[in-house]
A and B are shown apart, each in its own frame.
Chain A
Amino acid sequence: MDLLENKGVPIDKQSLTWKDMAGKPISKLDDEAFTRVRIILMNALELDALRLSHVGARMNGELRQSLAEIRRVEQHQATAVNGLLSADHSPLETTIAYEQVAVEVTAAVAQREPDPYLAQVYRFGLLEDFDHLYRYSALLDRLEGKDSNNILQGHTDIAPGRPTVDGHRAPVDDLRLPYGRDANFLTKLHATLITAAECQTHDYYMTIGPMFADPVARQLYAEIASVEEQHMTQYGSLLDPRQSFLELWLLHEATEVYGYYSCARSESNPRIREMWERFCDYELGHLHHVCGLFRQYEKRDPAEVLARTLPAPLEFKSQRDFVRDVLAAEVDLRANGVDFVKLARESPVSREYRRRINADGSPSTRVATAYHWTSGTELNRSLKAA
């Protein structure tokens, strides 16, 4: 797709009704897991667009009207996308799906990332989200009596990763080096995409954690939401802070185009594919509006920031082999400032931070003590053994 030629749908022609926003959801049982993954990822991007837009509006008076107009449509798009998740997903089942997004999308990104340092950052974070999936699977099994594979559909392994109890770091050890001015376009898209996904996951856990009555669940959500805040810090610090707000906005719109384009290319459900295609055209409309603002206010050519053509679509498929390899090779990596180091060289500040925050015990350890995922839930194991 030619990003600079394809103008999409003009903003004044973009509109959704309440019924569009609260449309027919997917089937938890019959739709593909990767349809759900795409929904969660695109909701994340839309919510991040709103986040960026509001921050930008606080600091850029001359852009406020354009920001408000595009933000209105994006808020409606976010509502329509998130409304695709059916209400028979319990909050904990949706959590499993969020972690599947974190594992599979981050693994896909890590393998295609051209910058080796950023690829390492993605592999590092991936192993922590992989562990979250295991801990939440234990909670789902032990609280709701459900098998998380009903959600994962055999695409994603359920086993310990880098233990969550060891993933708590001092803030200084969550900062990473940003990509540079001459970074590859794909590098910028990846960083925007993964930052958005982690922000959404954090906000979701902060919202639903207190809705559980069980103190075991409340503690686990508190613990993992804290790690997601670390991940937001980690991935957010990959973005070049020298970029202007308009540059960030332009990149964000390009990432949304890339996201919807990738979703449309891989979607198996025709009804959902229609939505991806429609919103891809909407995002092209947003992108071109922002290109105009970029020329007007920065007197620069958007081609300095964007590549003319989109990279190959993001892959939505099981990355099992890659994840297993990374786990085997890098589970003992730790952070020391912006560097990844062997276990023994981990930052003492983070060790001290962890000693304090885990002083009353570790929820993620308790919930998954002796947890051994078994198809049909761990209660099925005695049947299998018989």
Chain B
Amino acid sequence: MDDVTEPGFNRTGAQSSPLSVHSMQLYADERVPEEVSAPDEMPDGREIAAVRCDYAVEAERIGSVPMPGVLTSAFTAALSKLGARKPEVLVDKLGERLAFERIGVRLYQALIDKASALATQQRMPFSVDDLQRLRDDELAHMHVLASALDSLGADSTAQTPAAAVSALAISGLMQVLTDPRTTLVHCLEAMLIAELADNASWDLLISLTAEADQDQFLPQFHSARDSEKAHVRQIRGWLQTVVLGEAS
């Protein structure tokens, strides 16, 4: 497969069948439902919003944060300082980052597989070794987070609600990376989405950890965030190089 963007016979637009589309538009215009939206409204309708609102009000939550029967002394001491604050928020977010870093390992592995396949066909602004280093960083971060959860007495193997939801959000990225038809550009764009979210989430986790007086984790968390910032720079730079190179 050529890893390039090419012109061709894309059939999805109106211009590919202008007479048919003109006729379709006239027919649809004749049969407009009576409850059509006012011109100044978003056209998707009030009824959809009403259903979503009803369900959102009545819904039960995705799930709960598993808390240990007995928290470790480090955590209980901090809890006493936290007063009414909820330790489950920190555990939930630690679980989320752990799940994200773990899927990050698998995302980078998929990118490595793709890059290895394309390496013989095109010049790339990075080597497979570069990607392996990024993958290994994700693995190291995952272990930092698992250790943090374990040291708090929480269960690092549980899926927290935030972890479940972030897995849902990221599932499309894995589809992009593992599709044999996607190009390097598609894959780098997917990785950029993941890394940007990861960066922002590390910032938030660091703030939350500091708030919860869990300072023992902060040096490793700062180091992980710095490394994620470097990942964003690298991915962004590679993406720019590949896209501009292809366009020129």
Contact with A along B130-172 (1 / 0, CB 8 A): 0000000001001100110000000011111100110110010
A144 B167 Cβ-Cβ under 8 A: yes
Residues of B within 8 A of A145 (CB): 99, 102-106, 167
A24 B167 Cβ-Cβ under 8 A: no
**Once A and B bind, how many residue pairs between them come within 8 Å at the CB atom?**
93
Residues of A within 8 A of B165 (CB): 88
Interchain nearest-CB distance for B164 vs A (Å): 5
A383 B147 Cβ-Cβ under 8 A: yes
B157 A30 Cβ-Cβ under 8 A: no
B159 A29 Cβ-Cβ under 8 A: yes
- Is B41 on the interface with A (CB-CB < 8 A)? no
Residues 107-145 (chain B) with a chain A CB within 8 angstroms: 110, 139, 142-143
- Is A28 on the interface with B (CB-CB < 8 A)? yes
B157 A147 Cβ-Cβ under 8 A: yes
B105 A29 Cβ-Cβ under 8 A: no
B178 A379 Cβ-Cβ under 8 A: no
Interchain nearest-CB distance for B132 vs A (Å): 15
Residues 37-87 (chain B) with a chain A CB within 8 angstroms: 58-64
- Given contacts A145-B99, A213-B176, A214-B178, whether A27 and B146 have CB atoms under 8 Å apart is no
B171 A27 Cβ-Cβ under 8 A: no
- Is A1 on the interface with B (CB-CB < 8 A)? no
A143 B178 Cβ-Cβ under 8 A: yes
A377 B60 Cβ-Cβ under 8 A: no
A213 B178 Cβ-Cβ under 8 A: yes
Q: With the chains together, A30 CA to B164 CA distance in Å?
A: 12
Choose one: A87, A375, A379, A383; the contact of B105 (CB below 8 Å).
A379
Interchain nearest-CB distance for B225 vs A (Å): 20
- Is B15 on the interface with A (CB-CB < 8 A)? no
- Pick the most buried of B61, B103, B106, B110: most chain A CB atoms within 10 A of its CB: B106
B62 A213 Cβ-Cβ under 8 A: no
Contact with B along A76-101 (1 / 0, CB 8 A): 00000000001110100000000000
Choose one: B106, B157, B182; the contact of A143 (CB below 8 Å).
B106
- Is B13 on the interface with A (CB-CB < 8 A)? no
B143 A382 Cβ-Cβ under 8 A: yes
Choose one: B103, B110, B146, B179; the contact of A380 (CB below 8 Å).
B146
Q: With the chains together, A28 CA to B61 CA distance in Å?
A: 10
- Is A348 on the interface with B (CB-CB < 8 A)? no
Choose one: B58, B64, B167, B176; the contact of A30 (CB below 8 Å).
B64
Residues 118-154 (chain A) with a chain B CB within 8 angstroms: 142-147, 149-150
Residues of A within 8 A of B218 (CB): none
Tell me what chain B mostly uses at the interface: helix, strand, loop, or mixed: helix
Choose one: A27, A144, A375, A386; the contact of B157 (CB below 8 Å).
A375
Quick one: closest B residue to A24, CB to CB? B60
Residues of A within 8 A of B160 (CB): 29
- Given contacts A90-B167, A150-B159, whether A28 and B62 have CB atoms under 8 Å apart is yes
Choose one: B59, B63, B146, B159; the contact of A24 (CB below 8 Å).
B59
Choose one: A144, A150, A376; the contact of B146 (CB below 8 Å).
A376
Interchain nearest-CB distance for B152 vs A (Å): 15
Quick one: closest B residue to A380, CB to CB? B146
Q: With the chains together, A147 CA to B146 CA distance in Å?
A: 14
Residues 23-43 (chain A) with a chain B CB within 8 angstroms: 24, 27-30
Quick one: closest A residue to B149, CB to CB? A376
Quick one: closest A residue to B110, CB to CB? A214
A29 B63 Cβ-Cβ under 8 A: yes
Q: With the chains together, A328 CA to B59 CA distance in Å?
A: 46
B62 A149 Cβ-Cβ under 8 A: no
Residues of A within 8 A of B110 (CB): 214
- Pick the most buried of B105, B161, B178: most chain A CB atoms within 10 A of its CB: B178
- Is A210 on the interface with B (CB-CB < 8 A)? no
Quick one: closest A residue to B105, CB to CB? A379
- Is A215 on the interface with B (CB-CB < 8 A)? yes
Residues of B within 8 A of A86 (CB): 62
- Is B216 on the interface with A (CB-CB < 8 A)? no
Residues of B within 8 A of A144 (CB): 103, 106, 167, 171, 174
Q: Which residues of B contact A (CB under 8 A)?
A: 58-64, 99, 102-106, 110, 139, 142-143, 146-147, 156-161, 164-165, 167-168, 171, 174-176, 178-180, 182
Q: Which 7 A-B residue pairs are closest in the complex by CB-CB distance?
A: A29-B63, A214-B178, A213-B179, A145-B103, A376-B157, A145-B102, A213-B175
Given A28-B62, A375-B157, A379-B105, 14 extra CB contacts under 8 A: A24-B60, A28-B63, A29-B63, A29-B64, A90-B167, A144-B167, A145-B106, A146-B102, A212-B175, A212-B178, A215-B178, A377-B102, A383-B143, A383-B146
Q: What are 26 contact pairs spanning A and B, CB under 8 A?
A: A24-B60, A27-B64, A29-B63, A29-B160, A29-B161, A30-B64, A87-B168, A88-B164, A88-B165, A88-B167, A88-B168, A145-B99, A146-B99, A146-B167, A149-B157, A150-B159, A213-B179, A214-B110, A214-B178, A215-B178, A376-B146, A379-B102, A379-B105, A380-B157, A383-B146, A386-B143
